[in-house]
């Protein structure tokens, strides 16, 4: 989308109405004709607000571009719009008591997902060509699934990491969102410095799908979408088999929460004073569940130093080995739902309804995106149709660490197969 698109003002108005826009560089927007890059507001763009969606950082202006922004700008993108997020990127619904909850463009009664909900909503409205976001435990993929766009998380360490207001250094990474794969593949080459193959995925491919017992409870429409996608891949000539993720999932349950919570407390205690010159004030966090989580992280009682040391020193490497064993066993890509349900209702807080039963929001929504995030694997959420109410569903492909280019090439083939299946 060129900046001069005549429909741009209408798209901006719609995105603002759904609380998807954090700030705009009006001069760049009016004077440039480059492709429009949306940037999540926990990533630095020079001379623009850099708030992480919180009054805690509400007066911070970035002095320079984050390295990822700088690379994409040098390659021709125009980072003129900052998008909103779940406050401090610490959640997966898009809740934000400071800037307003982010609204799903497919149903104004539903959440956009988080934490990169503003980018997903804006892209679904046709605003921007590409968004640079972050992903800690699903933040690039969950909102993409809820809003019907594509969300990509690269292997840990593939993209530069400076210029982020992060949470957990063990799994924070830049990510990408777009309506089609072409901008994501272009940006991946720019950010990684790796020339990606564009001729599809050559050779025999085996896709592993966990059993229904391992997947756990899902909404019927989500289960049906996964079955359709698996059938589409089979019809396209790929081998689809059952894979066992029980060891990886169990290890993530053991170590993932301890690592994330401990590191989040340390990260915020460091970044907030560094950026603002002030201490971290809980009263400046406007979203109740975010404030509660930050207080828990800062308290130290939830995760002792000993528990963190065991999780990061033993559980984390064991989790990485468990995933490696799955791929060593002949699996090229893992296929799962991105989330077990479609977008929950706005204002759901810490609880969502799954088939009529109240469930804790964060662990339920991130059931499939947490383990591969903790293991540092590349993963992509692709649109997989809608439920009967027209709410988007996403399915997710995950690959061995370092095989990002191969995953993106296969995702292109998989997307074609899914669309042919209808």
Q: Is residue 296, in this structure, part of any structural domain at all?
A: yes
Q: What's the pLDDT tens digit per position in 85-140?
A: 999 999 999 999 999 999 999 999 999 999 999 999 999 999 999 999 999 999 99
Q: Is residue 169, in this structure, part of any structural domain at all?
A: yes
Counting the structural domains of the chain, the total is 2
* Same domain membership, residue 117 and residue 15: yes
Give the residue with greater pLDDT, 27 vs 95: 95
* Same domain membership, residue 362 and residue 298: no
Residue range 19-36: mean pLDDT, rounded: 87
CA quadruple 100, 105, 107, 108: dihedral, nearest 10: 30
* Same domain membership, residue 197 and residue 87: yes
* Same domain membership, residue 59 and residue 146: yes
* Same domain membership, residue 352 and residue 298: no
**pLDDT at residue 5, as a whole number:** 73
Q: Is residue 327, in this structure, part of any structural domain at all?
A: no
Element of type H or E holding 243: strand 239-243
* Same domain membership, residue 342 and residue 304: no
Q: Is residue 242, in this structure, part of any structural domain at all?
A: no
> Taking the mean position of all CA atoms in its chain, how far away is CA 414?
20
Report which of 375, 250, 364 is spatially closest to residue 324, judged by C-alpha positions: 375
Q: Is residue 320, in this structure, part of any structural domain at all?
A: no
CA atoms within 13 Å, Cβ hemisphere of 52 = 25
* Same domain membership, residue 252 and residue 160: no
Q: How far apart are CA 296 and CA 303, in angstroms?
A: 9
Counting residues of the chain whose pLDDT is more than 90, the rounded percentage is: 92
Whose tokens are 């630095």? That residue is 44
Residue range 81-85: mean pLDDT, rounded: 98
Compute the C-alpha angle 188/340/14, nearest 5°.
Answer: 60
* Same domain membership, residue 360 and residue 252: no
* Same domain membership, residue 167 and residue 42: yes
pLDDT at 202 over 70: no
**pLDDT at residue 3, as a whole number:** 53
**pLDDT at residue 357, as a whole number:** 97
Compute the C-alpha angle 318/321/324, nearest 5°.
Answer: 155
Q: Give me the DSSP letters along 108-161.
A: TTBB--SSSHHHHHHHHTT--SEEEEEESSSTTTHHHHHHTSEEEEPPTTSS--
Q: How far apart are CA 147 and CA 174, in angstroms?
A: 19
In 157-238, beta strands by DSSP E: 173-178, 206-210
What's the predicted TM-score (pTM) here? 0.97
* Same domain membership, residue 131 and residue 34: yes
Q: Is residue 298, in this structure, part of any structural domain at all?
A: yes
Which residue range is the domain that position 109 belongs to?
Answer: 8-204+337-421
Catalytic residues: 40, 115, 139
């Amino acid at each position: 989308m060129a900046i001069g698109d005549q429909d741009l003002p209408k798209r901006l108005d719609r995105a603002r109405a759904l609380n998807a826009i954090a700030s705009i560089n009006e001069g760049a927007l009016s004077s440039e004709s480059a492709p429009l890059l949306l940037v999540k507001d926990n990533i630095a763009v020079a001379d623009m607000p850099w708030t992480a969606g919180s009054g805690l950082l509400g007066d911070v202006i970035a002095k320079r571009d984050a390295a990822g922004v700088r690379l994409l700008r040098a390659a021709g993108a125009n980072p003129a719009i900052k998008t909103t997020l779940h406050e401090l990127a610490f959640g997966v619904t898009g809740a934000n008591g400071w800037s307003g909850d982010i609204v799903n463009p497919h149903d104004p009664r539903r959440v956009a997902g988080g934490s990169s909900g503003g980018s997903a909503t804006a892209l679904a409205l046709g605003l921007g060509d590409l968004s640079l976001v972050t992903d800690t435990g699903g933040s690039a993929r969950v909102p993409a699934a809820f809003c019907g766009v594509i969300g990509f998380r690269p292997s840990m360490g593939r993209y530069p990491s400076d210029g982020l207001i992060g949470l957990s250094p063990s799994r924070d990474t830049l990510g990408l969102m777009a309506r089609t794969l072409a901008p994501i593949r272009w940006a991946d080459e720019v950010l990684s410095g790796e020339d990606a193959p564009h001729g599809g995925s050559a050779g025999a491919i085996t896709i592993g799908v966990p059993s229904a017992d391992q997947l756990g409870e899902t909404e019927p429409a989500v289960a049906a979408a996964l079955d359709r996608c698996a059938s589409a891949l089979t019809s396209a000539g790929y081998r689809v088999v059952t894979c066992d993720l029980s060891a990886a999932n169990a290890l993530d349950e053991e170590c993932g929460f301890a690592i994330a919570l401990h590191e989040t407390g340390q990260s915020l205690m460091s970044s907030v004073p560094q950026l603002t010159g002030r201490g971290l004030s809980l009263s400046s966090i406007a979203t109740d569940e975010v404030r509660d989580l930050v207080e828990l992280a800062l308290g130290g009682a939830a995760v002792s130093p000993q528990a963190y040391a065991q999780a990061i020193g033993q559980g984390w490497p064991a989790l990485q080995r468990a995933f490696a064993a799955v791929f060593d066993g002949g699996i090229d890509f893992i296929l799962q739902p991105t989330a077990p349900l479609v977008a929950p209702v706005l204002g759901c807080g810490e609880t969502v309804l799954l088939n009529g039963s109240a469930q804790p929001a964060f662990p339920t929504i991130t059931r499939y995106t947490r383990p591969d995030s903790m293991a540092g694997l590349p993963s992509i959420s692709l649109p997989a149709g809608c439920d009967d109410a027209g709410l988007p569903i996403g399915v997710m492909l995950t690959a061995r660490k370092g095989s990002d280019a191969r995953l993106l090439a296969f995702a292109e083939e998989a997307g074609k197969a899914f669309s042919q299946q209808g």
